[in-house]
Structure 1
């Protein structure tokens, strides 16, 4: 496989630094009079055993191998597979990185020892996205995180807010139907990824900013305009770089050299997000501080954050929390629905079952609503299976050990980064029979089918102290997106396509190519027109 020039250059630099270090240590040792190690203390215990992993170089650890084997997540999983282990240790620079692919071990981390693994690592990207760690998702464990978590739990993700903002979500579900209908009428293949991602973007902009569009007016067919496309693209780019195995995150002395261009990419994506967000945030901040906006005019999450009185937030904290909210809601539902539809179009009998359930629960004389979600067991099983088999990211956000710990009998040093593998958990052969097969039926063993997975047999919405605080929103968005697309349209492969390719992209876990399908409206025309009237 060809290596990129930057990767080879960085790896070479790391190896040269290692050789210079070894030479220095060799010369220092020769100049010493005493060569033996200090005698062991009586009763001293031998070194505690780390999880298995590749033998590290001095100073740089396994960074040279990581740099030459991109993407790093595939290399890590390959090494673990070759070692035959469900927990491993990769020393990257001075950091022990501990990936886990076994649900039992994952529960030991996030259930039994959750308090000890409640922090986050510091990285260039996480520091930039969090505004200097004043947010709730990326901030290390401490008072700032506790304060922000308290605000979000009490004011943003509480059940009363979910009910209060139902109308915004309902309008965006109608707009989704309207937009997909306009695309279907064009008789061209519909880009499911585009539709799904922009539905998620619309929902979170509505809840956060009270608007679908950043520009002055709406788009006639309900689709995104240039600014909304830029917003979604920049947000997804930012998500992909928050913890991207960047060399300088493990060797801070290299920070600022930007050897692989990572820092430049982070700044570029974040500046696009901030330019769009800040125009709304600063104007709303001015309105509240000048008295133009009053408590009875609270309409969205941004109003709630700015007007919070118990412990008033700074504008930088508001900006950081707004980034958190957008990034947390955008990629997971859209990715799961795209993969589910791709798998089900290749297995039409699964698609028929999901549509039959929608017809039985909802019928064809009205559009599916959030009130129907509880009864849509098969639809939720399809989304669960997509979360399991096709996770949106290879690892959960890292957890940092606040103190030395023992996990699965291995020593985990203080400061280690523990990574729960979404791929490894969801495709673990000891847990899931035939794990590479898309089979929604495996999730129908219980009457209540929930998208959350507390036993960590896969990760949909993470759990524990640092887990997802708005699983209800993720569930509503995922099921409404999936339900409206399946209820409103008959989906089939484009002409000339025998099988939809299920190949993953090279550098992430998205489908290699956006899913293109033919859509045929299947409901009475007046329902699509009603959706247009409600959202136009």
Structure 2
């Protein structure tokens, strides 16, 4: 009898304890933003689908502009409106400026995340890399000094198009834009072209890295699975990353050897960014070491090239899909610059319709649709809810760009909506933040914008264009950046 009573008392105690824990847990969860009910163990993982930016946008229509999900064991908060984005990226920037580094990056056999401008927390190292970017690469003064280099690269692009025109071949627009942007950056940094006009290997390497980092990874959601690499992501991204870093290591070593052979540790004439950085390392004006350079370059080449070429491809696709907009852009260029004449960077401010086309493309097709994931460094109150310390935070700029409460006909390509508008993409207008905002806004924005206008304007001012086939697929493919599911192949036609 005593045993039976003890068992009953134990069961009652256990039941009361479980109910108490459940009550406390529910009390805590009431502070979280609303969201879909999670399944046991897996949480809301199944609701992400193949295109998380679109799935999360649909969920936001049900649960609101700030919502919470449980992705495996990770609490995740997603914001999908300009006001909520401002709350994260501006009002509480200091609390959300650190990154949630994906396992694909953490699992690399070399500590890329410890030297990466993209993935470092806001720290002394991050501030040093940011200072170098802002002072020695992307300032207006530096960019103005390199205008001739951009002229040459645009001329090379048009020569490549001309060769294909004479051969009656279609252009892979994204590939051509990628190689142009890549060689511009490689000449700025190393004073060499890294690829020839038809080469795909470097783009495939960059695309491979972005795809592996961007795809849902079980190891991110279930830490116990990290050592197993069940999806093979660690294996594949290690191959891609090693191939890229080897290129940068070789170029840095060659330059160091050249400087040693000429008996100069510090170059008095800096012919490119690499010389500048090596001088900084030698005179110790900024705390950075030679071993950091390849990681810094990897960030520049991955972020700078893929996002620019992707946006360029989407812009051309939208113009070919909307011939009236293409005609307006061509007419503006003809009247302002002159048909088939080279476009100068000083012309861009006199081309409001071309600027509107670029803005509209960035609204509909932000290259990084969820931006890079952020991490809450403490509990933060937003809109009456609590974003808990350690939570992963996504800003769905794809959803913000298609928000029906902000934009008329949000799914339609209408460049005219930006004519006479002050809306810009430099981080102050939160309805249009394809480059992010706050202290972690993309440092390469000034160069990207110059190149987008120059490439797009030059291609449509120098040639007419028609599709390689009459059916153009406008679907996208998700990764860390969003690409066209089917690459755009367009045939250049003489004007």
| Cα distance between partner residues in 2 of 1:273 and 1:166 | 27
User: CA 1:132/1:512 → structure 2, altered by over 3 Å: closer, same or farther?
Assistant: closer
The offset of 1:477, in angstroms, is 1.0
SS at structure 2 position matched to 1:108: helix
| Cα distance between partner residues in 1 of 2:330 and 2:442 | 30
What is residue 52 of structure 1 aligned with on the other side?
Answer: 34
What is residue 166 of structure 2 aligned with on the other side?
Answer: 185
Q: Is the 8 A contact 2:370 2:397 kept in 1?
A: yes
Q: Is the 8 A contact 1:454 1:463 kept in 2?
A: yes
Q: TM-score when scaled to structure 1?
A: 0.82
Unaligned stretches of 5+ in structure 2?
1-6
RMSD value, Cα: 2.7
User: Is 1:300 aligned with 2:256?
Assistant: no
User: CA 1:32/1:250 → structure 2, altered by over 3 Å: closer, same or farther?
Assistant: farther
| Cα distance between partner residues in 2 of 1:39 and 1:198 | 61
SS at structure 2 position matched to 1:160: helix
Among 334, 339, 345, the residue aligned to 1:370:
345
Q: Is the 8 A contact 1:380 1:450 kept in 2?
A: no
What is residue 455 of structure 1 aligned with on the other side?
Answer: 429
Q: How many residues align?
A: 475
Alignment of 1:197-212 (within 5 A): 197-212=178-193
| Cα distance between partner residues in 2 of 1:224 and 1:33 | 73
Among 466, 482, 486, the residue aligned to 1:513:
486
* Residues 31-86 of structure 1: CA deviation (Å, up to 9, x unaligned): 7956535999xxxx9535211223335555334x268x3344444334334x2422
What is residue 119 of structure 1 aligned with on the other side?
Answer: 98
| Cα distance between partner residues in 2 of 1:71 and 1:192 | 23
| Cα distance between partner residues in 1 of 2:192 and 2:349 | 28
SS at structure 2 position matched to 1:297: coil
User: Is 1:327 aligned with 2:302?
Assistant: yes
User: CA 1:261/1:473 → structure 2, altered by over 3 Å: closer, same or farther?
Assistant: same
What is residue 491 of structure 1 aligned with on the other side?
Answer: 465
Q: Is the 8 A contact 2:53 2:396 kept in 1?
A: no
The offset of 1:233, in angstroms, is 1.5
| Cα distance between partner residues in 2 of 1:192 and 1:72 | 26
SS at structure 1 position matched to 2:213: coil
What is residue 15 of structure 1 aligned with on the other side?
Answer: none
Q: TM-score when scaled to structure 2?
A: 0.88
What is residue 174 of structure 1 aligned with on the other side?
Answer: 155
Q: Is the 8 A contact 2:125 2:287 kept in 1?
A: no
What is residue 238 of structure 1 aligned with on the other side?
Answer: 209
User: CA 1:365/1:396 → structure 2, altered by over 3 Å: closer, same or farther?
Assistant: closer
The offset of 1:453, in angstroms, is 5.1
Alignment of 1:109-148 (within 5 A): 109-127=88-106, 128=108, 131-148=112-129
| Cα distance between partner residues in 1 of 2:129 and 2:213 | 19
What is residue 468 of structure 1 aligned with on the other side?
Answer: 442
Q: Is the 8 A contact 1:306 1:318 kept in 2?
A: no
User: CA 1:372/1:450 → structure 2, altered by over 3 Å: closer, same or farther?
Assistant: farther
What is residue 363 of structure 2 aligned with on the other side?
Answer: 388
Q: Is the 8 A contact 2:466 2:492 kept in 1?
A: yes
Q: Is the 8 A contact 1:357 1:378 kept in 2?
A: yes
Q: Is the 8 A contact 1:230 1:272 kept in 2?
A: no
What is residue 322 of structure 2 aligned with on the other side?
Answer: 347
Alignment of 1:38-77 (within 5 A): 47=28, 48-57=30-39, 60-63=42-45, 65=46, 69-77=49-57
| Cα distance between partner residues in 1 of 2:491 and 2:236 | 35
The offset of 1:512, in angstroms, is 2.2
What is residue 244 of structure 2 aligned with on the other side?
Answer: 273
| Cα distance between partner residues in 1 of 2:347 and 2:455 | 13
What is residue 4 of structure 2 aligned with on the other side?
Answer: none
